[in-house]
Amino acid sequence: MKSAYAVLLLTVALTAAAHGQTLRTAENAAAADKAVDAGGSIDVTWAPSPDELEAEVKVLGYEVWRARRPAGDYKKLADVEAGKESYNFTDEEAENGVEYFYKVRVRGEEMSTDTAPVGPAKATREWFHPNRLNMLIAAVLLSAFILYYISQARAGKVLFIRRIAGLEAVQEAVGRATEMGKPVLFVPGIADIDDIQTIAAVTILGRVATMVAEYDASLLVPCSRSLVMSTAQEVVKEAYLEAGRPDAYRRENISYLTDDQFGYVAGVDGIMVREKPAANFYLGTFYAESLILAETGHSIGAIQIAGTAMPSQLPFFIAACDYTLIGEELFAASAYLSREPRLLGSLVGQDWGKVVILISIILGVVTAFLAQFGVEIFGRSIALEQLFVVK
């Protein structure tokens, strides 16, 4: 087949030469690694054949071929239509670190001609994206704020944290349950332990359990996931040890009900009706069951503190509970309650980082607005993309 194809090409070329016609190759062919990418891509560029521009011989299109060696077996990668001022093809099937050679074939009506092999070109992975310099600056600033405030907290400096009413009411709720001789109910949501809201809820559970142990009250923690139950048991046990009351720990009070959403809700509601807890905590991930739990707790007269990052469930908790932690307040609760330097410094550092980012956004919007109306800034008109490159 290869010999027959070669004979055919030779025949066409001789025929064209006999008629005084030749097809000139594409010009300025080149191959290079695609800039600023994750690797695996090589750009092949070329200029049109002079015959396409001068219309002496009709050029139908171009073909891109690739091989591992200059004289190796070339594989066709793509067909490109003619009619452009310049051409570019990206080979997205290249292996990182492997050298490739390319040639561009000009295809006419009765003939074709190839460029000389170009290369070698090798695909590589870039470690830094220059167009993401703004993100690097933001990350460095945020990290600097966090490290600075952690060091300040460890040095004993009092860091200001905005008052969160729901967290300040924890001690009041546990104290009320103690005075009434009734248990405290803690519901850590219905998600598994790999959910960030569940992790935040279990962290808060440790602080609540410490207060319960110090006040000598009873704590009930019904769980909808077995792993959450096991984690909660260890957290509560450690809290009782920290409070110096290991004998008061009751493992059976941290129980597993069911993975079924509404089966779990029915079980928790049953516990509320039977045990009549004086303080209910709903912290973690909640869905349609949020209002059912909150309404049942309200009907027994319990003081209720809820917290979730699920926007669709916040209105129900706000309407039916005494205190509600909204969004990121749930994640800030562990630092707020424990006052541990690393957590506290991280929280304050992140807040200052958000302030800087907010100021940057405002400056960018103002600059873009002024530039839109031709207002000169620093002696010339500046567009938004010149200040903040976001790609």
Reported as type and span, the H/E element at residue 322 is none
Q: How far apart are the C-alpha atoms of 235 and 253, rounded to whole Å?
A: 13
At 64, the amino acid letter reads: V
Q: How far apart are the C-alpha atoms of 110 and 192, rounded to whole Å?
A: 68
Name the 3-class secondary structure at 286: coil
Q: Is the pLDDT of residue 58 over 70?
A: yes
Instruction: Give the tens place of pLDDT for each residue, 107-126.
Output: 887 778 888 888 888 888 87
Radius of gyration of the chain (CA): 35
| Nearest partner of 317 among 281, 279, 267, judged by Cα | 281
If one counts every other C-beta atom within 10 angstroms of the C-beta of residue 194, the result is 10
* CATH number for the domain whose boundaries are 170-321: 3.40.50
Class of 2-122 per CATH? mainly beta
At residue 377, the pLDDT reads: 53
- Mean pLDDT for 79-106 is 85
- Select the more confidently predicted residue: 273 or 332: 273
- Mean pLDDT for 130-139 is 82
Q: Is the pLDDT of residue 103 over 80?
A: yes
**Phi and psi angles of residue 37, each rounded to the nearest 5 degrees, phi first:** -145, 180
- Mean pLDDT for 226-251 is 92
pLDDT range class, residue 17, cuts 50, 70, 90: very low
Name the 3-class secondary structure at 44: strand
Measured at the alpha carbon of residue 197, what is the angle toward residues 139 and 226, in degrees to the nearest 5? 135
At 30, the amino acid letter reads: A
Q: Is the pLDDT of residue 386 over 70?
A: no
Q: What is the mean pLDDT of the chain?
A: 83
Lowest-confidence region among 37-46, 56-65, 179-188: 56-65
Cβ–Cβ < 8 Å for 346, 317: no
At residue 380, the pLDDT reads: 52
- Select the more confidently predicted residue: 190 or 373: 190
pLDDT range class, residue 79, cuts 50, 70, 90: confident
Q: Is the pLDDT of residue 16 over 90?
A: no
| Nearest partner of 367 among 345, 385, 351, 346, judged by Cα | 385
Name the 3-class secondary structure at 231: helix
Most confident of 253-257, 329-333, 367-371: 253-257
Q: Where in the chain are the domains?
A: 2-122, 170-321
| Nearest partner of 170 among 329, 42, 34, 315, judged by Cα | 329
Name the 3-class secondary structure at 204: helix
Instruction: Give the tens place of pLDDT for each residue, 26-49.
Output: 788 888 888 887 788 888 888 888
- Select the more confidently predicted residue: 173 or 162: 173
Cβ–Cβ < 8 Å for 81, 64: no
Q: How far apart are the C-alpha atoms of 59 and 80, rounded to whole Å?
A: 11
Token pair in block for residue 90: 């990206």
Instruction: Give the tens place of pLDDT for each residue, 267-289.
Output: 999 999 999 999 999 999 999 89
